[in-house]
Amino acid sequence: MSQRIETEALVVGAGPVGLFTALSMASRGVDVMIVDEEFRTAAHSYALAVHPRSLELLDELGLAADLLKQGYRVETVAFYDGPNRCGELTLAELDCRFPFVLVLPQSALEGLLERQLKRKGVKVQWNHRVTRLRPYEAHATAAIDKMGRASCGYAVATTEWVTEKTIDVGAAFIVGADGHRSIVRKTLDMDYAEAGPTEAFAVFEFHTDADLAGEVRIVFDRGTTNVLWPLPGGRCRWSFQCDQTGASAEPRSKRRLTVPIGRQAFPYLPGGQLGELIQTRAPWFTGKARNIDWSMEVRFDRRLANLYGRDRIWIVGDAAHLTGPVGGQSLNMGLRESADLAWRLVRILREAAPLGSLADYSEQFVTEWRQLLAIDGGLTPTDDAAEWARAHCARILPCIPATGDAFSSLVAQVGLQAVPARKP
């Protein structure tokens, strides 16, 4: 069975960036459809850090006040060189409406975005998997399978996902916010080249009695970058970069255990490794670890698409880029991309702006990412640079919890300056 649906914009992917993209357009009167192959928003309380500029964008949609009630404010970024505290960045000095980073569960942000979308008359179509996209001169089409659970088996009853029906969707624009495995990007046959080596982190999230004082703490230790994020409710997260000796090596008996998040599974880490890593890399952390919520190894690629789309099909967020987790740059750049793309699409749909205006969107963010990933440009010390900042200049680049103007303002506090990338 199949049916035909027409809409002005189809958003593929209902993570934070996809939900924000759909809401940004729906709030401006665009007819939007949003689909995701998952069956709901993030049920796991995977934490995320929302940058100052992202809070401004969320506030424009009327969401910041509710988020502030649920999050933990981080006002300082402290840097350690081994066991010694060597410097800090003060977000409170930023000239903006929200001079801090807000840390909260991903489920809180996604839930708020989904509820606001529903108030705008847009319901997320969960269990909908895009199988084919076709671009045309004046529109694009998508074939979408609606998935459902079906009982199977005889001696042992099981269930599996099956296609209940196929929906043909015609849209003026299709936006892919469907992550690093993006079918939208693959349809456009764009390069998604490596921009650096893959990094692995041993991640532990737990309750603690430590006073984290509203700051994130970053430790450079023997070639690794490690980060302590405070979380709401007396919790925190340590992420230790795995070194060549295998900081996350686990006993043979544990190797098959995994931690599920959504439909992905990550290698389980025994909680006993947490104390060993803290003692080795951050002996100044004396807080007790209670009730470890989860401990796992996560691998992060560094990749960048060579362009963000063409004609009627475009991408945002992790569909276009990947980087490490320390500064939270990928998500927050994704929100900026979404806001910019939504604004451009509304101008085309409502004000007859030329389709060619979307080329500037692609050029702007590819250029900025080339700088953040140090493909071209990066950071360089000034004459006033602190000695530790000069020594760790390249490692500091992906650690800054800001992008754009706020990024430049923060690194200037320790005598560094951003070197812009050349336009592609």
* pLDDT, tens digit, 9 for 90 and up, residues 146-173: 988 766 655 555 667 788 899 999 999 9
pLDDT surpasses 80 at 116: yes
Task: Grade residue 339 by pLDDT with cuts at 50, 70 and 90.
Answer: very high
**pLDDT in the model for residue 39:** 74
**pLDDT in the model for residue 271:** 73
Q: Distance between CA atoms of 78 and 292, rounded to whole angstroms? A: 24
Q: Is 222 exposed, middle or buried (0-12, 13-18, 19+ CB in 10 A)?
A: exposed
The HSE-up count of residue 348 (CA atoms within 13 Å, CB side) is: 21
Q: Distance between CA atoms of 334 and 331, rounded to whole angstroms? A: 5
313 touches 141 (CB < 8 A) = no
Of residues 240, 248, 234, the one with CA closest to residue 290: 234
pLDDT surpasses 80 at 260: no
Output helix, strand, coil percentages for the chain, rounded to the nearest 5.
30, 40, 30
Task: Grade residue 249 by pLDDT with cuts at 50, 70 and 90.
Answer: very low
Q: Distance between CA atoms of 187 and 296, rounded to whole angstroms? A: 33
**pLDDT in the model for residue 255:** 45
- Across the chain, mean pLDDT equals 90
Of residues 216, 267, 197, 248, the one with CA closest to residue 91: 216
Q: Distance between CA atoms of 55 and 288, rounded to whole angstroms? A: 32
- Is domain 2-75+101-192+303-370 given the CATH code 3.50.50.60 in the classification? yes
Task: Grade residue 45 by pLDDT with cuts at 50, 70 and 90.
Answer: low
Q: Distance between CA atoms of 105 and 98, rounded to whole angstroms? A: 19
Q: Which residues contact 206 (CB under 8 A, 6 or more apart)?
A: 235, 236, 274, 289, 290, 291, 292, 293
Of residues 338, 330, 317, the one with CA closest to residue 58: 338
pLDDT surpasses 90 at 3: no
**pLDDT in the model for residue 6:** 97
**pLDDT in the model for residue 294:** 82
Top pLDDT among 278 and 153 is at 278
pLDDT surpasses 70 at 72: yes
Q: How far is CA 380 from CA 76, 333, 384, 386, 419, in A?
A: 22, 22, 11, 12, 7
370, two tokens: 């080339």
pLDDT surpasses 90 at 252: no
- Mean pLDDT value of segment 310-335: 96
17 touches 318 (CB < 8 A) = yes
pLDDT in tens, 315-325: 999 999 999 99
Q: What is the DSSP letter of 268?
A: B
**pLDDT in the model for residue 38:** 86
**pLDDT in the model for residue 253:** 40
Residues of the chain with CATH 3.30.9.10: 197-301
**pLDDT in the model for residue 263:** 52
pLDDT surpasses 50 at 422: yes
Q: Report the run of H or E that residue 334 belongs to, with start and end.
A: helix 329-351
pLDDT in tens, 177-200: 999 999 999 998 899 999 999 999
Q: Distance between CA atoms of 324 and 206, rounded to whole angstroms? A: 21
In the block, residue with structure tokens 């599996």: 160
Percent of the chain clearing pLDDT 70 (strictly above): 89
341 touches 386 (CB < 8 A) = no
Top pLDDT among 330 and 257 is at 330
- Mean pLDDT value of segment 225-252: 79
- Mean pLDDT value of segment 267-278: 83
Q: Distance between CA atoms of 140 and 183, rounded to whole angstroms? A: 14
Percent of the chain clearing pLDDT 90 (strictly above): 80
pLDDT surpasses 60 at 349: yes
- Is domain 197-301 given the CATH code 3.30.9.10 in the classification? yes
Q: Distance between CA atoms of 204 and 269, rounded to whole angstroms? A: 9
Residues of the chain with CATH 3.50.50.60: 2-75+101-192+303-370
Q: What are phi and psi of 64, to 5 degrees?
A: -65, -40
Q: How far is CA 295 from CA 13, 92, 224, in A?
A: 27, 32, 19
249-253, 343-347, 417-421: least confidently modelled range = 249-253
**pLDDT in the model for residue 244:** 59
The sheet with strand 76-81 has its strands ordered as 84-90, 76-81, 215-221, 224-231, 235-241, 192-208, 289-305, 321-322
Q: Distance between CA atoms of 16 and 112, rounded to whole angstroms? A: 10
pTM of the model: 0.92
15-24, 92-101, 264-273, 340-349: least confidently modelled range = 264-273
319, two tokens: 């569909």
pLDDT surpasses 90 at 22: yes
